[in-house]
Amino acid sequence: MKATVQASNNDGVYSARTENNVLIASTIESDDKLALGDELEVDLPSLLDSQRITKVKDRRIVRIKLMQHDIHDLDLPANYRSSRIRRSSE
């Protein structure tokens, strides 16, 4: 699935939004950098296990660090103190 980098902060946290409105917040585990507008290839079903994304431009695999609450389905309502991750059992 394609995602586009939408934001980054001084702590090195990047946010990317997928085509189906899922927001992924992560840090980069290597010296790689992402830029606003970079297109990424993301395998959402295995993202928590693989902890990697692919930069579409150069097909480079980038190791990331994210936790379960760093993946948000933006189409679901926000609940206080919980992630908006869509679970396969729901």
pLDDT of 86 = 47
48, 51, 50, 56: which is closest to 19 by C-alpha? 56
In this predicted structure, the answer to whether residue 59 has a pLDDT above a threshold of 90 is: yes
C-alpha–C-alpha distance, residues 47 and 86, integer Å: 13
Q: For the whole model, what pTM was predicted?
A: 0.80
pLDDT band at 79; cut points 50, 70, 90: low
Q: How many CA atoms lie within 13 A of 87 on its CB side?
A: 6
15 occurs within a structural domain: yes
Domain holding 56, by residue range, is: 2-73
Is 90 exceeded by the pLDDT of residue 88? no
| Total domains in the fold of the chain | 1
Q: pLDDT digits over 7-39, tens only?
A: 999 888 999 999 999 999 999 998 888 999 999
Domain membership flag for residue 30: yes
- The CA-atom distances, in angstroms, between 36 and each of 8, 12, 41, 54, 75 are 8, 13, 15, 15, 22
pLDDT of residue 30: 86
Tokens coding 49:
């296990």
